[in-house]
Structures are given as structure tokens and as C-alpha cells.
Structure 1
């Protein structure tokens, strides 16, 4: 059975609106007045993006910004929030290909046509592909990190201690020691280090500095 897939007829305007949402304060309700006044985006094209934000899960049916909307405004979580919205919007495509967000354009186009029953060259199909491509370009589909890394404390200007999630598994090895033929026990460790999902090099520098100080010594 053919399924409808959400799309925007004003992809550029939608992307611009998403960018403006990051810097604007969170309204009590996300309305056309908020869009035209606070986001400085007037006209029917901008207003038509509001229903799509509701489909994304950014705005509730009564216009209230959701937790996902607030998460999107956090620079550290913005791309992950879009990734969650993407999976919500295109769950039907995920039933057909669980890695649809990484698929090539032609493969995605084929899935859209198969799912909707529409024509490959129709305006609806083109809008659907264009909307999907814009969203996956600004999204992150990696799972959130299992490691809690404390960033520098801005209150005193010093970095708080970082405690990486490390699991050490002891391994025993019997090896010769000395010249008298005795046997000794060498203790070694296998260290599993789960790194955070971030592109900030300072986070990794801090983690490996902590690793050196607490486990490896000078």
C-alpha cells in the first residue's frame, strides 16, 4: 500500500528557519506571529514550514516547543536532534532500508517511488528527496556517547577532572625472570576506552592526558 512521505515545498526557507531557531529564545508557542516577528521571516512560505516542524516533532500540536526543539538549540546536540527527527519523519523508509540516511540519491529516490507509488519525475517526489537530503546533511545519526566528559568549568576558568570510562581486564603471563631459572608473573591490562562522539580535539586531548596521568604514569 502506497504511503505518503512528509516534505516541504520551501526547503531553503525551512533550513533558514531551523538556523534562526538556534539563536532565538524559546517561545511559549511557535506561531506565525513568532515566525514573522522574532525570526523575521514573513509571508506564506515561512508560515508553511510550521506544520512540517510539527511533523518533525519539534513543535507539539498545540504549538508548544517540545524537548526535541530545546535539544536542537543546544549546539552540542543540534545535529543529533535533527537525526532523531529524520528517523521519525522517514520511519517508513527505514523499514525498507535501515541505513537510508547513508544511501545514495538514486537509491533513496527508488525507495521514495516504491514507498509512495508516485512518479519519479513528479514535483512531489522531487520535493520529498530535496527535503530528505537537506535534513540528512545537517543531521548526525551516531548514537550518543556512553562517556560523560566534564568540560572546563567556566566559573573558575579551570578544567574539571575528566573521568573516562575505562575497563581494564587483567591478563597473566608466566615468563622467565633473572638468571637463576626462576619464574615470575607479569601482569598486563587490556584497556577498553569508549570515546565521546565529538569533533572537539580538546576533549580528546583532555581524555588522553587523564589516561596518561592516572594509568600510564610519567
Structure 2
């Protein structure tokens, strides 16, 4: 039994359809009428996109858009979700080479021939290769969807403003007070005794009257 690998009979149109999906509202059901009326693709060759999308996990068997479909419409996750869809639809090829998206066309075509058992001049093989290579121009295989960038923890800082001295200079009825600011960088510790010792020493030596 040959591998059931998805493709479109008009491979060059897949990018145009995917771009239109980003612009259009998510339908309850991705039907032929939606493809023709809402997306503007009227013709039998375009209808094979529905089968491609179902095998790639973007549509359910009934044609309802999946979470993957919705993530593809999100500019932030569009590329990574399409990469996931391609890995789903072309799982037979990924089982043979998990980095098959990095292969050139000649090597990728050889992988398709191996999986399908068809000849190098097979129209089906050509369409599978062309459909994949057209679709992957919108995919992002490098970014990890679950990658989270954590901000580095900053040192705890305390700004202590000392009270003005009791005695102030007075001249011609104008009082002059002196203030000074101490910037203290506290060490990272879970022991409150260390903080108590620091502030006690600060009070006794710098903030005493």
C-alpha cells in the first residue's frame, strides 16, 4: 500500500489560498462554497485544498477549522503552526527524515518516490513535491512554539533618604537644610537576619543623631 501523502493538483495556488485564510473570518465549516465565495477560488483544482488541509490537521473530517487553523491565522504563531501542519500531513516523509524540510528538491523528491513507490516522472510525485515546497515558504521550522524568554532577575535595591540634620544654617531669615541619599544594593538571601544586621548597622553609624 502506497503512502497517502497530500498534494494539490494546482500546487502554485496553495500559498494564495493560505494568505486568503489569514484575511478571512474563520468559518464554522470550510466548505467548497466558502472556498469559492469567500476566498474567491472557483475551480476544481482549488477544491483539492480541502483534502490537503484535512490531512494536515487544519480541518476536521467534517471540514470544521481546528485550533491549528486558528493559530495559523494569528500572525504570532502563523509560521510555526503551518510547520506543524506540514509535519502532520507529511508524517510519512518525516518518519524517514525528521529534517526533510531542509532537503533540496532533488533529495526530497527521492524521499517521496521511496514512500510512494512511484517513478521519478510521476505527476503525483511532482505535485507532492511542488505543494510541499510552495507551502513551506510560509512555514517557520526554526522557532520553538513553546519557547519562552525569561527576563533576568535584577538585584534588589533600596533607596534610603536620610532625614536632614537638626541644626540648619540660617542667614537673613532663610533656612538651609542638607539632605543626602544613600543607594544600597542588598545581597540576594532568604535569611532576614542579614537584612536586620545591615539596617541596624546603617542606623547606628549613618543615621544616628
Q: CA deviation at 1:3?
A: 2.1
Q: CA deviation at 1:145?
A: 4.9
The SS at the match of 1:49 is helix
TM-score under structure 1 length normalisation: 0.65
Cα distance in 1, alignment partners of residues 77 and 43 from structure 2: 30
| 1:126-181 CA-partner distances (Å, limit 9, x unpaired) | 11110111122221112125325xxxxxxxxxxxxxxx34489xxxxxxxxxxxxx
**Structure 1 runs (4+) greater than 3 angstroms displaced:** 164-168
Query: Equivalent residue for 2:106?
Result: 106
Give structure 2 stretches of 5+ with no counterpart.
Answer: 155-209
The SS at the match of 2:129 is helix
**72-81 vs 138-147, greater mean Cα deviation:** 138-147
Contact preservation (8 Å) 1:8, 1:14: yes
Higher relative contact order (CA 8 A, sep 6+): 2
The SS at the match of 1:48 is helix
Query: Equivalent residue for 2:76?
Result: 76
| 1:50-75 CA-partner distances (Å, limit 9, x unpaired) | 11111111111112111001000001
Structure with greater Cα Rg = 2
Q: Please say if 1:39 is aligned against 2:39.
A: yes
Cα distance in 1, alignment partners of residues 153 and 146 from structure 2: 16
Give structure 1 stretches of 5+ with no counterpart.
Answer: 149-163, 169-218
Cα distance in 1, alignment partners of residues 66 and 60 from structure 2: 6
1:86-165 to structure 2, matched below 5 A, reads: 86-142=86-142, 143-147=144-148, 164-165=150-151
Cα distance in 1, alignment partners of residues 35 and 67 from structure 2: 19
Change (3 A) 1:92 1:18: same
Query: Equivalent residue for 1:21?
Result: 21
The SS at the match of 1:140 is coil
Query: Equivalent residue for 2:3?
Result: 3
The SS at the match of 1:121 is coil
Q: CA deviation at 1:14?
A: 2.1
Query: Equivalent residue for 1:58?
Result: 58
1:160-199 to structure 2, matched below 5 A, reads: 164-166=150-152
Contact preservation (8 Å) 2:8, 2:45: no
Question: Higher strand share goes to which structure?
Answer: 1
Change (3 A) 1:146 1:13: closer
Cα distance in 2, alignment partners of residues 20 and 44 from structure 1: 18
Paired residue total? 153
